[in-house]
Structure 1
Amino acid sequence: MTFIEALKSGDFDAIRSFPKTDLHIHFVLGGNREYLFKKTGYKIEPIAKPLKSMSEMDAWSAKYIGNLFNSPEGHKLLIEATFAQAKYDGVTILEIGEDVWGLGKFFHNDIAELIYAFQEANNRIAPEIELRLQIGLSRHCPIDYLEDCLKHFWGHKEFYSIDLYGDELAQPIENFTPIYEKAAENGLVLKAHVGEWGTAQDIVVAVKALHLNEVQHGIAAVQDEDVIGVLVKNDIRLNITPSSNVLLGRVLDMSDHPIAQLYRKGVNVTINSDDVLIFDSDVSKEYLRLYQSGCLTAQELDDIRLNGLKNV
């Protein structure tokens, strides 16, 4: 059976058997719920309908994650659960990492301990998966604080990429330019969350200011042909998370998701989970939802899957 046939038949087991990437996933919410239930007895329920505000998402996180995993041991369990989920879902390239503030909170300010936690879980649970270790930054943090935290990360070749996330309006994207210049010097793939809540022009501003290689979300680009042109000309990849976009009210219906227009206009796109535990959004489900909604054809989805497996 081919991937195309698996989509057409709706065979989840078959869909999961094919290699896929997950290049936009936050491991704290990216784990396998059955794995976590067996380890803790906690039953983590996904949301069932679109949220009305980000405060509702915060309330969900407080209820199901909150202090339950707010310790070094709990944090490492979430890392394990994310590898278990990726293995279950047929993900062969997984890009996850730690927010810089987590180094002190969960790893005693020991960068070697942080790196080991991810690599050990990778090797023990899913050695067949290529781990692309990421440095995470929050837009809400002062720049001088982030720069101080990053002193521990620079020079460690185990890190593959850097990503900026949080409220797109928290502070001007240009504030992060010095950090991204340093990240480029360290050979990191440059990524940032933009164009989910903001505008198409915000995407262009971010790409130019930070010299981004990839954009997490970027769906607002569909509003502006010139922005689409910039993405195509510069081969800026958009790592898109369809169910997350729908359940956060950024897209009204899966059948009308902007990924179809962006892909058909030549934008480099991938399909990803974002937060498995809250959105019930493993990568195989994302592919099947996009197909069954009529958003993309099975052939188009297979093309996107294979493209994601190529090296950057």
Structure 2
Amino acid sequence: MTAFIQGLPKVELHLHIEGSLEPELAFELAKRNNIDIPYESPEALKLAYEFEDLQSFLDIYYQGANVLQSEQDFYDLTMAYLVRCKQDNVIHTEIFFDPQTHTDRGIAFETVFNGIHRALDVGESELGISSHLIMCFLRHLSEESAIDTLEQSLPFKDKIIGVGLDSSELGHPPEKFTRVFNMAVEAGYLTVAHAGEEGPAQNIIDSLEMLKVSRVDHGVRCVEDDKLLARLIEEKTPLTVCPLSNIKLCVFDDMKQHNIVELLRKGVAVTINSDDPSYFGGYMTDNFLAVNEAHPMTHQELAQFTLNAIEGSFISDEMKNRYREQVMDYVSKF
């Protein structure tokens, strides 16, 4: 099954580009930009990636982002992720970026955007990986800050497919951002939001109803509400689940307790994603392997994760058909 998973075409819908910053690249960029890192080596930094919850991760995540200063830095970061995508047979990715993490440090919005977007162009032309870019608002900051970020994004609107909501879920419910999401929809953006990871199932409901999201990022606590679960199945609402992340952040104690396969078999449109792979110990193939090891599946069930992601992506119907055929052709060989 390992060979099948490695070769399976994959689509990633939940990836924070800043969370793909590997320790080795962090040290390289720190040296380039003359920035001190409070660790002796990449290995020592990696050892610090032991988290008790989401907040303990975010503290080190934002610290790591400080090494990102120039357009070239963001280009190098994104290209490193795309190379991993190629190795894992990711054919399409929809990448989150957090402008406020950088603009609050005095880095211009266009510096961040231009570096990431330039790499995505190269990823498509040279690696054959299609992509979309989603701008996330940091929910621990004010809605006013989110509105300001939305306004900064408008000159680049033709190259940003949607907006999302990430960072600390507890204490920052969806209704805090209803106004800015309405403004984003009026500007032509699609919407997604993190919900039901640390926060309750009600956050998923509120994201669907208040923020008009096309899909829910994480969403694993949907099982706490039978009515919501039935709605997700009926409406085929995609959940972009991140298995290794959920274990690392103690959402589940171990992968055998994870509910992703149970949800898949109930008919929920769950997908597998890597979230912040540098910090959580795995990219796409690693996540597939970990889930299958804990919950052995058939070839068709594993492929269904990709088929769900294709259907839940923001690509054209023509591309969806092409990618579906690619997956089914692959499965038929087994």
Normalising by structure 2, report the TM-score: 0.79
User: CA separation in 1, counterparts of 2:91 and 2:73?
Assistant: 25
The answer for the alignment partner of 1:77 in structure 2 is 76
Counterpart amino acid of residue 287 in structure 1: F
User: CA separation in 2, counterparts of 1:292 and 1:191?
Assistant: 30
The answer for the alignment partner of 2:251 in structure 1 is 250
The answer for the alignment partner of 1:291 in structure 2 is 292
Question: Compared with structure 1, are the counterparts of its residues 61 and 184 closer, same or farther at alpha carbon in structure 2 (3 Å cutoff)?
Answer: closer
User: CA separation in 2, counterparts of 1:208 and 1:276?
Assistant: 30
> Which deviates the most, 177-186 or 122-131?
122-131
Per the TM alignment, residue 220 of structure 1 is displaced from its structure 2 partner at its CA by 0.2
Per the TM alignment, residue 287 of structure 1 is displaced from its structure 2 partner at its CA by 0.9
> Which deviates the most, 101-110 or 270-279?
101-110
The answer for the alignment partner of 1:122 in structure 2 is 120
Give CA deviations for 1:79-102 in whole Å, capped at 9, x if unaligned: 222222222221111111432323
Counterpart amino acid of residue 277 in structure 2: V
Q: Percent identity?
A: 27
**Equivalent residues in 2 for 1:131-210 (5 A)?**
131-154=131-154, 156-210=157-211
> Which deviates the most, 290-299 or 142-151?
290-299
Give CA deviations for 1:16-53 in whole Å, capped at 9, x if unaligned: 43321111111112246677778889636656996323
Counterpart amino acid of residue 25 in structure 1: L
User: CA separation in 2, counterparts of 1:59 and 1:114?
Assistant: 21
Larger helix proportion of the pair: 2
The answer for the alignment partner of 2:229 in structure 1 is 228
Secondary structure of 1:24's counterpart equals: strand
User: CA separation in 1, counterparts of 2:290 and 2:6?
Assistant: 14
User: CA separation in 2, counterparts of 1:150 and 1:77?
Assistant: 25
Counterpart amino acid of residue 212 in structure 1: V
Per the TM alignment, residue 244 of structure 1 is displaced from its structure 2 partner at its CA by 0.7
The answer for the alignment partner of 1:4 in structure 2 is none
Question: Compared with structure 1, are the counterparts of its residues 47 and 88 closer, same or farther at alpha carbon in structure 2 (3 Å cutoff)?
Answer: farther
Counterpart amino acid of residue 84 in structure 1: V
User: CA separation in 2, counterparts of 1:34 and 1:230?
Assistant: 44
Give CA deviations for 1:201-227 in whole Å, capped at 9, x if unaligned: 221122111111111100000122111
Q: Contact conserved, 1:99 with 1:135, CA < 8 A, in 2?
A: yes
Give CA deviations for 1:141-163 in whole Å, capped at 9, x if unaligned: 11122212211213612111211
Runs of 4+ in 1 over 4 A off after TM superposition: 31-42, 44-50, 103-107
User: CA separation in 2, counterparts of 1:199 and 1:55?
Assistant: 16
| Structure 2 runs not aligned, ≥5 long | 32-40, 315-334
Per the TM alignment, residue 228 of structure 1 is displaced from its structure 2 partner at its CA by 0.4
Counterpart amino acid of residue 173 in structure 1: P
Q: Contact conserved, 2:15 with 2:94, CA < 8 A, in 1?
A: yes
Normalising by structure 1, report the TM-score: 0.84
User: CA separation in 1, counterparts of 2:226 and 2:274?
Assistant: 27
Secondary structure of 1:190's counterpart equals: strand
Query: What do you get for the CA RMSD once the two structures are aligned?
Result: 2.8
The answer for the alignment partner of 2:324 in structure 1 is none
Q: Contact conserved, 2:173 with 2:203, CA < 8 A, in 1?
A: no
Secondary structure of 2:161's counterpart equals: strand
User: CA separation in 1, counterparts of 2:164 and 2:112?
Assistant: 17
| Structure 1 runs not aligned, ≥5 long | 1-7
The answer for the alignment partner of 2:85 in structure 1 is 86
Give CA deviations for 1:226-271 in whole Å, capped at 9, x if unaligned: 1101212332210000011111111122123111222222211110
User: CA separation in 1, counterparts of 2:49 and 2:172?
Assistant: 30
User: CA separation in 1, counterparts of 2:116 and 2:106?
Assistant: 13
**Equivalent residues in 2 for 1:21-100 (5 A)?**
21-31=11-21, 43=42, 46=46, 51-54=51-54, 56-58=56-58, 60-61=60-61, 65=64, 67=66, 69-72=67-70, 73-100=72-99
User: CA separation in 1, counterparts of 2:9 and 2:47?
Assistant: 27
Question: Compared with structure 1, are the counterparts of its residues 171 and 60 closer, same or farther at alpha carbon in structure 2 (3 Å cutoff)?
Answer: closer
